[in-house]
Structure 1
Amino acid sequence: MSIPQESGEAAVDAASPARPGGVRRLTRYAAAFGGVAAAITLLLSEHWYRGVEAVVTGDTVSKWLGFPVIVSRAQQTMFFAFRGTGPSHMLGLQITLGCSSVLLLAPILLLTGVLLSLRNVSPLRVLFAAAIAGSLVVFINVVRLVMIAAMVDWWGVAAGFGWGHTLFGSVLMLLGLAAALGSFVLVLGYRGRGRVRAT
């Protein structure tokens, strides 16, 4: 009479460890789907996102450079006065899709979703790496736009916008993208000094 009871207990004990693994697997897939969905949502709402970028850029230009600024969120455009000009002589800097950080953030979110589906990668580390890389991309792009506004003030509209947007802005974004990717890889591959490999 005791043998069936023992086998039943063994069956319960053998089946119970599988449940946490299934929950973790489901959580990983849900997080991976969330990353992919976030990238798609960002691309579909890029019009709204560029309006937010215009607001953030305008606020930064006003604080860092002291320029009078008017922002049209609906047009994704920041108008700023320079060289002593007033509100009636403002230059509009429109955040187009090519000037936005949305096209750089979307791949980061997609990569995050793919990595979250892998079993041998820490989800927390992936999310931390994505947060750092995404923050760098957004910050560098805002700095680039502020730099363009400053160069327009220094060198005039034609030369300032041309050099700031085409040359210096492109170089700055390449450096920012390299820093974002480098930080992503470093965070994922970091191993603490105190960690000892099991033998």
Structure 2
Amino acid sequence: MAASANLSDVNVPRGPRAIPAQKARGGGMLGLLFLAAATVAMLQQDHIRAAEAWLMATVFDGILGGASYSVDDIIFHNVGAGQPYALMVTGLCSSAVLLTPIAALAGILFLMGRIPVSRLMPAALTALAIVCLSNATRYFMIAAAQQSWGQQGFDLMHHFLGSFVVIFGFVAAIIVLVRAAVVRKNRPVAKRRGRRAS
């Protein structure tokens, strides 16, 4: 036999309300981490430039002519194979300049708490990888052109073609983040709701 009860005494599950709160906390922590990474990228720019110089010198040494090595933020390449050249990784050319706004934007999107972490995290990592690879491609293009055509090759790649590669990569990274931020409705659920309404 069923007994009546006061609704105020019944513990109503609050699961649906707790789920967004948990997502917001997880996204909030990741957002703070990405914002902290953006800050570190700017404050530790000297170390990032030195790391970039070392990494690119390693790549040049295995692909381009002559030997390559780095000293702080300067890359020496084509050593022992004719005319040696040097490239300095300046503050404006460093990947830190590209990583900072991308990481900051990703951090803001995480803090919004409306985008699933499972969708935003891969997009954020992909965007960071895109800007790093595009800048590394520019370094390689500059060094290769410098070995082939000297100062003219440097000017061509550094001021024109190489810059277009970096700009294209930066825009592509922004698009990746924006696409991840777009909320997509579940079409089957929307269709079921439409059928019930009708």
* TM-score category of the 2 structures, normalised to the smaller one: 0.7 to 0.9
Cα displacement string for residues 97-120 of structure 1 (whole angstroms, at most 9, x for unaligned residues): 111111111111111111112232
Structure 1: tracts of 5 or more residues without a match:
none
Which of 139, 143, 146 is residue 145 of structure 1 equivalent to?
139
Task: Give the TM-score taking structure 2 as reference length.
Answer: 0.81
Aligned to 1:79: 76
Which of 95, 99, 117 is residue 101 of structure 1 equivalent to?
95
Identity value in percent: 26
CA distance in 2, matches of 1:44, 1:122: 30
CA distance in 2, matches of 1:191, 1:63: 45
Give the superposed CA RMSD. 2.8
- 1:1-199 equivalence runs, <5 A: 7-8=8-9, 10=10, 12-13=11-12, 21-72=20-71, 75-81=72-78, 84-85=81-82, 90-156=84-150, 158-189=151-182, 196-198=188-190, 199=193
Cα displacement string for residues 32-62 of structure 1 (whole angstroms, at most 9, x for unaligned residues): 2111111111111111111111111111112
CA distance in 2, matches of 1:64, 1:184: 33
How many residues are paired up? 189
CA distance in 1, matches of 2:16, 2:184: 29
> Once the 2 structures are TM-superposed, how far is the Cα of residue 167 of structure 1 from its aligned partner?
1.2
CA spacing shift, 1:67–1:109, aligned 2, 3 Å: same
CA spacing shift, 1:184–1:14, aligned 2, 3 Å: closer
Task: Give the TM-score taking structure 1 as reference length.
Answer: 0.81
CA distance in 1, matches of 2:154, 2:94: 16
CA spacing shift, 1:92–1:23, aligned 2, 3 Å: same
Amino acid at match of 1:119: G
Cα displacement string for residues 113-137 of structure 1 (whole angstroms, at most 9, x for unaligned residues): 1111223211221111111111011
> Once the 2 structures are TM-superposed, how far is the Cα of residue 4 of structure 1 from its aligned partner?
8.9
Amino acid at match of 1:196: P
CA distance in 2, matches of 1:93, 1:19: 54
CA distance in 1, matches of 2:70, 2:183: 42
Amino acid at match of 2:23: R
Amino acid at match of 1:153: Q
Q: Does the CA-based 8 Å contact 1:42-1:102 persist in structure 2? A: yes
Q: Does the CA-based 8 Å contact 1:83-1:153 persist in structure 2? A: no
Structure 2: tracts of 5 or more residues without a match:
194-198
CA spacing shift, 1:197–1:83, aligned 2, 3 Å: farther
CA distance in 1, matches of 2:66, 2:50: 19
